[in-house]
């Protein structure tokens, strides 16, 4: 690689976490109608939302992703001990007063006993018990945090498939939730490596054969309809469709990143999550340098990070 190509790839690596966090903070004020947003209005990082959050502050989407990224940067994500560290990090985050935590995620993590052995196993068992009781564990809570897994396996597609699903399964055992994480992580990987948004329909081949046709149909539906068509979007498929539609149907003026994140927030409902999901792939394609200076200056959140800290963390994950 030339120095220019190295720099461009580094920018895209940084963009995965930073653009996801910016999407999160951009969507926070409007989550479930917390603040009004006119059809032609550009969303702004004004804070509020369900936290309430300070202007530019990210929510649980990025908070949980940061825990995954920190573990990945320190030791990778390839073994059960790493997953133990991830769950321990989430439990500590929950205990420290995390706000706006998804119902399913809170139920699972609350069942993990702090200090007890095998926290990842405890989380999976609690998640499966919830699935057996309700049959409903395909929320968007694992997809919203999945981007760091893509950064950890940029050069190993097979490992990415396995570990994206393993991290999803810690709280969301429905196979469809795992599928969504695998598919989106592969899209991020392709964008970082190639500098272009891949055709998502081409990537369904990484999923189990029995569900490929269904996923291809869901992707085609997202390409044919605007993001607002996929609200409510708490279901993982609808969240992925809304995010993919936002890339295919940008709204308003501005760069591709700004226009697509605007469209993602205008999807409505779980606005911060849809925009965080879309932001990860947009950042993988366009890089952190494509984000507006005012967003980069304002974005911040638990555990005391700002844009520069996310950039450094993304580089560390990709270097493991």
0.75 exceeded by pTM: yes
Using pLDDT thresholds of 50, 70 and 90, give the confidence band for residue 105: very high
Overall average pLDDT of the 267-290 stretch: 98
What confidence score (pLDDT) does residue 97 get? 76
Among the residue ranges 91-105, 131-145, 271-285, the one predicted with the least confidence is 91-105
Residue 1 has pLDDT above 60, yes or no: no
HSE value, Cβ hemisphere, 13 Å, CA-based, for 210: 2
232: how many CB neighbours lie within 10 A of its CB?
Answer: 13
What confidence score (pLDDT) does residue 5 get? 62
Tens of pLDDT, residues 151-205: 999 999 999 999 999 999 999 999 999 999 999 999 999 999 999 999 999 999 9
Overall average pLDDT of the 219-225 stretch: 98
Residue 287 has pLDDT above 70, yes or no: yes
Using pLDDT thresholds of 50, 70 and 90, give the confidence band for residue 2: low
What confidence score (pLDDT) does residue 182 get? 99
The rounded mean pLDDT for the chain is 96
CA torsion sign for 125, 129, 131, 132 is positive
Query: Whose CA is closest to 301, among 26, 1, 6, 92?
Result: 26
Tens of pLDDT, residues 45-65: 999 999 889 999 999 999 999
The domains found in the chain, sorted by start residue, are 3-319 (1.10.4080.10)
Query: Whose CA is closest to 163, among 129, 206, 200, 132?
Result: 206
Residue 289 has pLDDT above 50, yes or no: yes
């Amino acid at each position: 690689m030339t120095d220019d190509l190295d720099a461009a790839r580094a920018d895209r690596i940084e963009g995965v976490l930073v653009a996801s966090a910016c999407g999160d903070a951009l969507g926070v004020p409007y989550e479930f109608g917390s603040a009004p947003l006119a059809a032609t209005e550009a969303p702004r990082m004004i804070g509020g939302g369900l936290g309430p959050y300070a202007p530019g502050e990210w929510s649980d989407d990025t908070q949980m992703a940061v825990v995954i990224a920190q573990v990945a940067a320190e030791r990778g994500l390839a073994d059960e001990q790493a997953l133990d560290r991830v769950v321990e990090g989430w439990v500590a985050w929950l205990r420290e007063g995390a706000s706006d935590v998804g119902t399913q995620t809170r139920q699972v993590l609350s069942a993990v006993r702090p200090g007890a052995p095998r926290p990842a196993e405890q989380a999976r068992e609690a998640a499966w018990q919830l699935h057996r009781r309700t049959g409903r564990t395909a929320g968007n809570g694992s997809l919203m945090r999945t981007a760091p897994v893509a950064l950890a396996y940029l050069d190993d597609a097979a490992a990415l498939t396995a570990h994206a699903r393993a991290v999803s399964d810690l709280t969301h055992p429905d196979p469809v939730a795992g599928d969504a994480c695998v598919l989106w992580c592969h899209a991020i990987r392709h964008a970082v490596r190639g500098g272009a948004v891949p055709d998502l329909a081409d990537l369904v081949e990484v999923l189990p054969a029995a569900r490929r046709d269904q996923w291809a149909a869901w992707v085609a539906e997202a390409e044919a309809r605007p993001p607002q068509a996929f609200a409510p979007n708490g279901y993982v498929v609808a969240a992925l469709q809304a995010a993919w539609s936002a890339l295919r149907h940008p709204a308003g003026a501005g760069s591709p990143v700004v226009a697509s994140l605007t469209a993602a927030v205008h999807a409505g409902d779980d606005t911060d999550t849809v925009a965080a999901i879309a932001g990860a792939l947009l950042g993988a394609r366009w890089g952190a340098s494509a984000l507006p200076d005012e967003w980069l200056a304002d974005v911040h959140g638990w555990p005391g990070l700002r844009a520069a800290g996310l950039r450094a963390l993304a580089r560390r994950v990709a270097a493991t």
